[in-house]
Amino acid sequence: MPSSRPRAAGWAPRILVIADSIHARKLFARACLHFEPHAEILAAEHPAEVPPLMLSEPPDLLLMESDGDRPDRLEPLLQWVQCVVRPPLVALVGNQPVPWPATGPGPSADARPVCMGWTALPPWLAVTLPRLRCRAELAALRPGAFGDTTRPGHLVTTV
């Protein structure tokens, strides 16, 4: 599925939304675009659609509707996602979010998905999307001639 909006010049978050219902996919997109109007939103109805969408360019954020899903059902998808060169931040959102087990098999503690209810999504996105932007802009910085950090090319002014 193509992105919902054209990509803006410069960095814009690439967000992959996985939800069975079109209503949930629209809620995810609306919440993301509220905080990042130029975000590129990709949507999938089923987890099986995720690998092809991630192969061209991995998303920065993966949002999944988790109502009724158990961690053992989601674990194969999440393990595959972690194998991507630049794994995205993963959030499971639902009316009854299933907390990821603190122990036992599954992703390492730093790679566990964030689990939250629908009401917690907007405040979480308000904090998370700017952090993703900062992370991307910091990754774009390159060391200068003396090891100093220089500004990305699109921020450098010429005199």
The ranges assigned to domains in the chain are 14-102+110-132
| pTM of the complete model | 0.73
The two three-digit tokens of residue 39, written as one number: 């975000």
Using DSSP, state whether 93 is helix, strand or coil: strand
The two three-digit tokens of residue 144, written as one number: 């200068």
| Predicted confidence pLDDT, tens digits, the chain (159 residues) | 444 444 445 788 999 999 888 999 999 999 999 999 999 999 988 877 888 877 778 889 999 888 665 556 677 777 777 777 677 888 888 886 665 555 444 444 456 788 888 999 999 999 999 998 888 888 777 766 666 556 666 665 555
**Multiple choice CATH, 14-102+110-132, 3.30.950.10, 3.30.450.20, 3.40.50.2300, 3.40.50.720:** 3.40.50.2300
The residue type of 143 is P
Q: How far apart are CA 30 and CA 27, in angstroms?
A: 5
Q: How far apart are CA 58 and CA 84, in angstroms?
A: 7
